[in-house]
Chains A and B, each alone.
Chain A
């Protein structure tokens, strides 16, 4: 079960004074406690993993450390002294560099200019000494083992190289701390290897590195220690070596490994009736760097759960099936008919509906009424001679508002004034109006209150009971185990395990979530 750390790694620098340390760090955004009294310590010369699921507080912690936000309470100590950064530039000047997934460099300038931005070597007339700058940059980038023309425009280079340049910059400013926020999520395997080389190189020079990644394998490969956050609180800090995957995942999800699943914690009933022929058949779906040959079959009346940790490709899978994420290959069939790829409208017409995970960004149109939000997806198909059949829509909206018990002052109320749970029901109504055969639900109960959650769960059950094929994504183990008839567990964009029948338990799911990548189906751990 245990994965050994990379052989070249020096022992973790324990016992020394931390280079960066927080004590009781707290931050709220409105009513949301993003971070509660978090203690975190980074040693010089270590690579420290920072992990947690959505909303755990990783980004908030990073933003506090780098001066993007200021803490409500608590202290940050850097290189022995207490600091309070007003701006990211302050943190950078002090020696804390950040490498984001989206790189914050200047794409139109050359590699060399980016490395030395704001600190360009000058000639005796005060002009930028381009020759000296290019020479120094070439040396620096070369020492990282990256082969690149430093006079090239940064924006034209691959993302991987851009990350290296960001690291080179971090080295040139002699940072004592480098924070890498999901640096590998859009990189090719070869680029990841180079990045890790550079990171180890920095470590050997005594730099402290914070490494955020959703790819668990990388943590054991690269990191010396790990800190787990959950719901804005510190859960665990310890060495990577000797830590097994299940314990780590359990800490992230807030489950006790030995805990036995408590049946009946959700509103889901028993197994659903199932027809024989699948209505949705997905095979070989491939999305660049995200999904690798995903296959999926769902029968009418069946609820198939998609499990996986953050970044495993669950949302990408349903988006690709729905045509909203460009695929490189693979087929989607509904009722035996091929659906044209990469077209939301064809997917909709074929009878696929997608309830997106991001209600705000991809779901509601906040300034429109409840009625217009519900009717949105059927507008093109209901339209006659370019006009909206108002009475038909009124009737439909009324039916669904009653059936889903949507609590709004009237159909004309703006949807942004509703609670999260009611907004979610509005969106479910929007998709049910289209009379789907396949309903893809991405985290349907996230961020809604307990009552609405139970209602949504009961509704999913009812829909499946009426013969709808459902794909359910949920980060809540209970919801997945009790709501789904079978569960496919994804790892790094591929189906790693399938849990059915008696194997469909919370502890089995936990183990599967923690399991390595691309394991054969139903193989024993």
Chain B
């Protein structure tokens, strides 16, 4: 009796195909990451060392933090192209306000990210501008604003900020701890909080969520605020580590890395799902690809091409899955 009633809606012939594509989408990133680690263990000198590990983790933090915010936005079937510019704004504000103390400067920088996110959220959630358009505008304007604030490269000598960038506890850099804390927090939000449940429901079927009385606009605004806030935090950490802020360079093209990390981590661009572990693995994979190429003296531009190939492949797998479902 129950056999007939819970049969999946897809015709049988397509099930195998769909399941395979689904499996690749969900787990491909872990397989790829493991393979790349194994390859490096085999062919890269000094790959298995505390220093290499530390460096890789430190370098992945900005992209990872941005990607976690991006995963939330993509979960709502949105996209945020402004994250790189927000990083630059945050970094450019640090030298301006450092005179008031480390805490104030960092606070203002992060607040600026939240404000930028609020603007994006209101444009998308309340006014109904398409996410890609709204955040493209902020991306362009934000970079200009960062240049306005920052002007040229400024070095940062404040001991507090420097410690934030290069200090560590028990051998683990602060920045890595912060990234881990952010990951845990975002995981908690998505899995345990009402906000997270509402977010995935809205991304999964916005009209149904509206009719169920969910606060759709509020959730959308919150999501973009969180994304902006995390991007600003990433900008602060990047400035702290490099002990300088260059508004023309900070966060350049980070939106692409972040989107790539989220997508290859198995979060569908069509929304309705947020995969935190996948996003972390995705960010690590991107980082490791770049690092592997650098280890072997292959120029950075090649790494960018590799990144492009991966994102196209990842999106292709997603599309293939959706087509099979129809």
Contact = CB atoms under 8 A, between A and B. Distances in A.
A379 B214 contact: yes
A377 B5 CA distance: 25
A368 B193 contact: no
B285 to A, nearest CB: 24
B273 interface: yes
A419 interface: yes
Given A324-B211, A365-B272, A408-B6, A380 B204 contact: no
Given A362-B207, A422-B6, A380 B273 contact: no
A388 interface: yes
A396 to B, nearest CB: 14
Q: Is the interface of B mostly helix, strand, loop or mixed?
A: helix
A344 interface: yes
Contact of B213 (A345, A361, A452): A345
A386 B194 contact: yes
Nearest to A430: B212
Contact of B205 (A365, A388, A407): A365
A365 B204 contact: yes
A344 B210 contact: yes
A30 interface: yes
Given A348-B213, A372-B197, A380-B194, A418 B207 contact: no
A416 interface: yes
Contacts, number: 100
Contact of A416 (B9, B197, B211, B214): B9
Contacts of B116: none
A365 B214 contact: no
A366 B204 contact: yes
A383 interface: yes
B2 to A, nearest CB: 5
Contacts of B207: 361-362
Contacts of A407: 2, 5-6
B191 to A, nearest CB: 9
Interface residues of B, number: 29
Contacts of A305: none
Contacts of B215: 345, 380
A388 B209 contact: no
A387 interface: yes
B5 A367 contact: no
B212 A376 contact: yes
Contact of A377 (B2, B6, B213): B213
B6 A368 contact: no
A349 B210 CA distance: 14
B6 A419 contact: yes
B309 interface: no
Greatest chain B CB density within 10 A among A354, A361, A365, A449 is at A365
B211 A356 contact: yes
B246 to A, nearest CB: 38
A354 B212 CA distance: 9
A419 B7 contact: yes
Contacts of B198: 379-380
7 smallest beta-carbon distances between A and B, as pairs: A383-B194, A365-B204, A377-B212, A348-B213, A365-B205, A376-B212, A345-B213
Given A344-B213, A361-B205, 4 more contacts: A380-B194, A418-B5, A419-B5, A449-B5
Interface of A: 30-31, 322, 324, 344-345, 348-349, 354, 356, 361-368, 372, 376-377, 379-380, 383, 386-388, 407-409, 413, 416-419, 421-422, 430, 449, 452
